[in-house]
Amino acid sequence: MNFYILIVLAMVIWGASWGIAKLISSMTSVVVILFWRNILTFLALIPILFILKEKPKLSYKALSYSILGALVMTAYNYLFFKGLEYGLAGAGGILVTTLNPIFNFLLVSLLSKKRIELVEKFALGLGLLGGLILLKIWDLNLEDILKSGNLFFLIASLAWAFLSILTERSSKHSKPLLYSFYNYAFASLLTFIWVLPYPWVAPLSFGFNFWLPMFYLSVISTAFATTIYFIASSKLGSHVASSYIFIVPTSAMFFAWIIQNEKIQLHSVTGGILALLAAVILHKFKISKSKKSLNL
């Protein structure tokens, strides 16, 4: 099996999810969308666990990480859909997926109290510049940023960076697929409690315009593509697999153009390229330092 082809497929699927999610972002309350996405993903992961012969057992520490992960993941998905409700899918896909590695690096550096090298400072400055261009800093106005959805995307990127750290630390106590399974189990419970005051059964009458995108987002994009990513990571190594995430911004913009007929804006392309370049530099420098430490 060619795992390189599989992981590219997973990244393209993730990229397309931005334009597809935009189709349903304004059809009902964000909380209602979150509930149905969580429950469908949870149900879709059950047969995958069965096929891969994974026993759904967790230690106390792994369970704690799953509960905390569910809280952060719910916050991320809420911000994801709120951003799409107001903003552009292509711009959101670029902003979140390119700034996430940069936020992740900063958080890890702060938590581990590691000294930031000159190359890393340059990359972070480049990423900051890209982020400011993506946010259209020259039009800086809180009301306009909220209307554009970019502030939601920005905070979502930070939330995803926290989630990435939690996922990495949880790997010491459980397998990634089990962690994901319990994440969605707890997220389903959390959003069910949250959604009770809302008309959460209303989507049952929405038809294919709602349920086809929802099926894609929950079963194909999350359960299927994420499982592919986990399997490829175990075969190729996480440092190789994670580098393929750089495909997501390009595919997000492409599918937003195809699905939403969104115009490719110059500031989105420019800011996205700078932020992407920063993420690549950080990633390459991280691998280089790892290799040097192994040779010592």
Least Cα distance to 104 among 175, 159, 151 occurs for 159
Give the burial class of 157: count Cβ atoms within 10 A of its Cβ; 0-12 exposed, 13-18 middle, 19 or more buried. buried
Q: Which residues lie closer than 8 Å to 166 by C-beta, 6 or more apart?
A: 65, 68, 69, 72
- Kindly indicate the confidence band of residue 236, based on its pLDDT and cuts at 50, 70 and 90: low
Which of helix, strand or coil describes residue 261? coil
Please tell me whether the overall predicted TM-score, pTM, comes out greater than 0.85 for this model: no
Which of helix, strand or coil describes residue 33? helix
- The DSSP 8-state label assigned to residue 288 in this structure reads H
Structure tokens at 93: 């896909």
DSSP secondary structure of 46-93:
HHHHHHTT------HHHHHHHHHHHHHHHHHHHHHHHHHHHS-HHHHH
Structure tokens at 83: 């951003």
Question: Is it the case that residue 227 has pLDDT exceeding 60?
Answer: yes
Residue pLDDT, tens place only, 53-68 = 887 777 788 888 889 9
> In this structure, which long-range contacts are made by residues 261-268, counting pairs with CB atoms below 8 Å and at least 24 apart in sequence?
262/19, 262/88, 262/89, 262/90, 264/90, 265/91, 267/133, 267/134, 267/136, 268/88, 268/90, 268/91, 268/94, 268/134
Instruction: Say what the pLDDT of residue 86 is.
Output: 74
Q: What is the mean pLDDT of residues 259-287?
A: 74
pLDDT over 70 for what percent of the chain?
Answer: 79
Distances (CA, A) of 54 to 62, 181, 287: 15, 11, 31
Neighbours of 46 (CB within 10 A): 13
Distances (CA, A) of 288 to 124, 165, 276, 294: 17, 21, 18, 10
Instruction: Say what the pLDDT of residue 267 is.
Output: 74
Pick the most confident of 10-19, 118-127, 234-243, 277-286: 10-19
Instruction: Say what the pLDDT of residue 269 is.
Output: 78
- Kindly indicate the confidence band of residue 197, based on its pLDDT and cuts at 50, 70 and 90: very high
Asked if 246 contacts 7 with a C-beta cutoff of 8 angstroms, the reply is no
CA–CA separation, 130 vs 218, rounded Å? 30
- Kindly indicate the confidence band of residue 294, based on its pLDDT and cuts at 50, 70 and 90: very low
CA–CA separation, 51 vs 1, rounded Å? 17
Question: Is it the case that residue 14 has pLDDT exceeding 90?
Answer: no
CA–CA separation, 265 vs 271, rounded Å? 10
- Kindly indicate the confidence band of residue 6, based on its pLDDT and cuts at 50, 70 and 90: confident
- Kindly indicate the confidence band of residue 293, based on its pLDDT and cuts at 50, 70 and 90: low
Q: What is the mean pLDDT of the chain?
A: 79
Instruction: Read off the amino acid at residue 185.
Output: A
- Kindly indicate the confidence band of residue 211, based on its pLDDT and cuts at 50, 70 and 90: very high
For the chain, how are helix, strand and coil distributed in percent, rounded to 5? 85, 0, 15
Q: Which residues lie closer than 8 Å to 229 by C-beta, 6 or more apart?
A: 7, 10, 241
